[in-house]
Amino acid sequence: MKAEESSPRNLSPHRIGYARVSSAGQNLDSQRDTLTRAGCGKIFADQMTGSRMDRPGWEALLAYARPGDALVVTELSRMTRSLLHLLETVKLLEARKIVLVSLRENIDTGTATGRCFLSVMGAIHQMERELRAERAAAGRASAKARGRSGGRPRTDLMKLEQAKILYENTEKTAAEVCEMVGVGRRTFFAYLAEQRHGKPAS
């Protein structure tokens, strides 16, 4: 899609917005309004799924951005669709000296807090890879031995551990990390209580 610009491009660093919806039938107005209020002088947009790599608006944004500029999104899901894709995108932006700002998650990689948050996300991704490797090595025998014990599924445990890492290593609230990871607050607090009292999470 064609970018919208409220002021001409100059040589000084400035904020560039990116908006995306999954289909042509959805409306971009809300994201555009939010990005404009956030100080974006130019906004690029796409109307297609975030899993596609050939997004013309995104490609045009990358071609337009200059070192020192800030790429602003209303939330991370507008830009990326997975943790791995997020980390790859941040690495690309860092190499080009472009700051990433996500309004909903209150992330700004131009600050120490924002860089710390992304470091934690990188650690979570590494943990996910190691957990998958451990499960593959253990094989089906271990899962069969557990049977229907009533314990939490392993995928839930992974999400709960991710939420715990974010909660303990960033300034995010419990509600924020639960929403980001995709677990319920009551389940998360029960998991924290189990961990503090040394009980197995099963």
CA distance 136 to 197: 29
Closest CA to 96 of 69, 61, 118: 69
pTM greater than the 0.85 cutoff? no
Domain spans, the chain: 4-108, 112-196
> Which tops the pLDDT comparison, 177 or 1?
177
Q: Is 22 a catalytic residue?
A: yes
Tokens linked to 161: 């551990």
Residue 185 tokens read as 């607050």
pLDDT, tens digit, for every residue of 75-133?
888 888 777 788 888 889 999 999 999 998 888 998 888 888 777 776 676 666 666 66
- Identify the residue with better confidence: 158 or 50: 158
Q: CATH homologous superfamily of domain 4-108?
A: Resolvase, N-terminal catalytic domain (3.40.50.1390)
45: β partners: 19
As given in the structure block, the two tokens for residue 76 are 């991370």
Each residue's pLDDT tens digit, 47-69 = 987 667 688 999 999 999 999 99
Exposure pattern of 182-201 as b/e (b: 16+ CB <10 Å)?
ebeeeebeebbeeeeeeeee
Q: Mean pLDDT over residues 178-191, rounded?
A: 86
- Residue of 12, 22, 77, 119 marked active site: 22
